[in-house]
Amino acid sequence: MSRPLDIGINQIKSLLVKMGQLSKQALELAIDGFLKEEDGYVQLKAWSNTIIMLSEEVEDRAVELMALHQPMATDLRTLKAYIKIAYDIERYGRYALDIGDIKNRLGEWEQIPENGFRFKEMAEVVMKCVTMSIDFIREMDQNCIWEQAKTEAQSDDLYLKNMKMLWESNASPKTIIAYSLTIRYLERIADHSTYISESISYAISGRRVSLR
């Protein structure tokens, strides 16, 4: 028979997966809107607010489980990791919202052709990082985190290469600003996916690892 504590921990995990799936939808919408120069800010704002509320619920439930039950060391590590993961997923949603807000702040800009510039490739790699992090939350498989770290390293490499191309381009200042902000937000999202993997490793093994 499952302990009430186990049931509560599994419920928190389900909330995290829900947050992750919603943040993935938000990021997909933000990237698509950026490429098509479409305004998805209202929807992104609603999703971001929902993710924040779910993050607060994760923290409240975790604290309640700690107060009402007597968690063992493994349980405490898991609850602590879940609170941190909720924050990292919240950042997914926030950065997606920031990408969606660029058009409102800057107005129209010119798209840069994918001729050596690898924005779409970077976006795909970052989406892969997010997907992997959600899968890790669901499966709690520590053996997969190193593959995620390699994928995140690819996003770092693409970030630097894309920034170099922007600096050397003849694009308008507004275009350079729009792309620079967006790829920076994407790079930070990939960072948070790595933080999630580190938290999962800590919850499972009790050891702190640094994947960056």
pLDDT at 105: 87
Question: Model pTM greater than 0.75?
Answer: yes
User: Using only C-alpha atoms, what is the Rg of the chain?
Assistant: 19
- What domains are there in the chain, each with its CATH number? 4-205 (1.20.58.220)
pLDDT at 87: 97
The stretch 192-202 carries a mean pLDDT of: 92
Which residue pairs, CB below 8 angstroms and at least 24 apart, start in 131-137? 131/24, 132/193, 132/197, 133/20, 133/88, 133/192, 133/193, 133/196, 133/197, 134/17, 134/20, 134/21, 134/24, 136/196, 136/197, 136/200, 137/13, 137/16, 137/17, 137/20, 137/85, 137/196, 137/200
What digits encode the pLDDT tens for the residues 125-166? Answer: 999 999 999 999 998 877 778 888 899 999 999 999 999 999
